[in-house]
């Protein structure tokens, strides 16, 4: 089943890439907005937030409220639509980066999860990780195409860079948390210590390459967006 999922994912991303490359000249600004919105949804739905779900790790200790690491602070902020995620990861400027699972309180201990349920969720997480990598690769390949890069309005390109930045920050936060990775390994998530190094490096490389290209793009619209580009690139 895993092989089938990977194959279908590769076929799907390849078809989407070809569709965009073959019709790039037909895409208006409004259509580019719809395309980028679809990318944003794809990146969000394939982000494996369950990696931070403490119920997957059994009786592991809960995290300390508002920990600070690498300039990121966890603060309680209600999130509408999903009771499992009730705080956001904030950067040093207080900007929300991504939702993370709620740490259990003493009044609301995590439910025990069966080995079968844990194994099923682990498979879902792995599929999401594969899909996220494919999306990063496809985004990189698309933007290496000069015609595609030229046709995307800069405001939509910045939106696309936003989800790449999200992907990078998520992977970096996971890779920096050795205790979390070790606990997932101990409960059988992978045979080796799990990491998201490919996601972190791939998203960062694409992000920096495209933002630098945009920054030095002489077209008026890109020059007008230089401040936004610099704000995203410099941190």
pLDDT band at 116; cut points 50, 70, 90 = confident
DSSP string over 25-55: GG--HHHHHHHHHHHHHHHHHTS-GGGG-GG
Scan for tokens 């740490």, then name that residue. Answer: 103
Note the pLDDT tens digit of each residue in 28-48.
999 999 999 999 999 999 999
What's the chain's Rg over C-alpha atoms?
Answer: 19
Strand ranges (DSSP E) for 10-84? Answer: 68-69, 72-76
pLDDT band at 4; cut points 50, 70, 90 = low
Average confidence score pLDDT of the chain: 80
Tokens at 73, concatenated: 């602070």
Scan for tokens 């990318």, then name that residue. Answer: 39
Give, as one character, the DSSP assignment of residue 97. Answer: E
Scan for tokens 């690139």, then name that residue. Answer: 233
Global pTM reads 0.76
Residue 184 neighbours by CB under 8 Å, 6+ apart = 51, 56, 57, 190, 194
Phi, psi dihedrals of residue 46, rounded to the nearest 5°: -105, 10
The proportion of the chain whose per-residue pLDDT surpasses 90, expressed as a percent, equals 61
Half-sphere exposure of 33 (CA within 13 A, CB side): 4
Note the pLDDT tens digit of each residue in 189-222.
999 999 999 999 999 999 999 999 999 999 999 9
Query: Over 60: is that where the pLDDT of 136 sits?
Result: yes
Note the pLDDT tens digit of each residue in 75-111.
322 332 333 333 344 443 444 444 444 333 334 545 6
3-state helix, strand, coil in the chain (%, to 5): 65, 10, 30
Q: Please check whether residue 229 is in contact with residue 211, taking contact to mean a CB–CB distance below 8 angstroms.
A: yes
Tell me the C-alpha distance between 90 and 110, whole Å: 24
Note the pLDDT tens digit of each residue in 142-178.
999 999 999 999 999 999 999 999 999 999 999 999 9
């Amino acid at each position: 089943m895993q092989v089938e999922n990977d194959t279908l994912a590769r076929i799907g991303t390849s078809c989407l890439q070809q569709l965009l490359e073959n019709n790039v000249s037909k895409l208006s600004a409004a259509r580019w907005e719809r395309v980028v919105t679809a990318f944003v949804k794809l990146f969000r739905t394939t982000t494996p937030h369950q990696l931070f779900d403490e119920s997957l790790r059994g009786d592991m200790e809960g995290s300390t409220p508002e920990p600070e690491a690498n300039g990121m602070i966890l603060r309680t902020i209600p999130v509408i639509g999903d009771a499992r995620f009730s705080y956001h990861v904030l950067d040093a400027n207080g900007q929300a980066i991504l939702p993370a699972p709620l740490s259990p309180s003493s009044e609301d201990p995590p439910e025990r999860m069966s080995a079968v349920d844990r194994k099923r969720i682990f498979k879902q997480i792995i599929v999401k990780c594969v899909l996220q990598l494919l999306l990063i690769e496809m985004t990189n390949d698309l933007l290496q195409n000069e015609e595609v890069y030229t046709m995307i309005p800069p405001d939509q390109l910045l939106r696309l860079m936003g989800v790449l930045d999200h992907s990078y920050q998520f992977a970096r936060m996971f890779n920096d948390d050795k205790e979390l990775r070790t606990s997932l390994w101990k409960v059988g998530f992978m045979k080796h210590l799990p990491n998201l190094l490919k996601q972190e490096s791939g998203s960062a490389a694409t992000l920096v390459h495209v933002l630098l290209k945009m920054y030095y793009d002489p077209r008026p619209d890109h020059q007008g967006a230089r401040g936004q580009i610099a704000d995203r690139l410099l941190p």
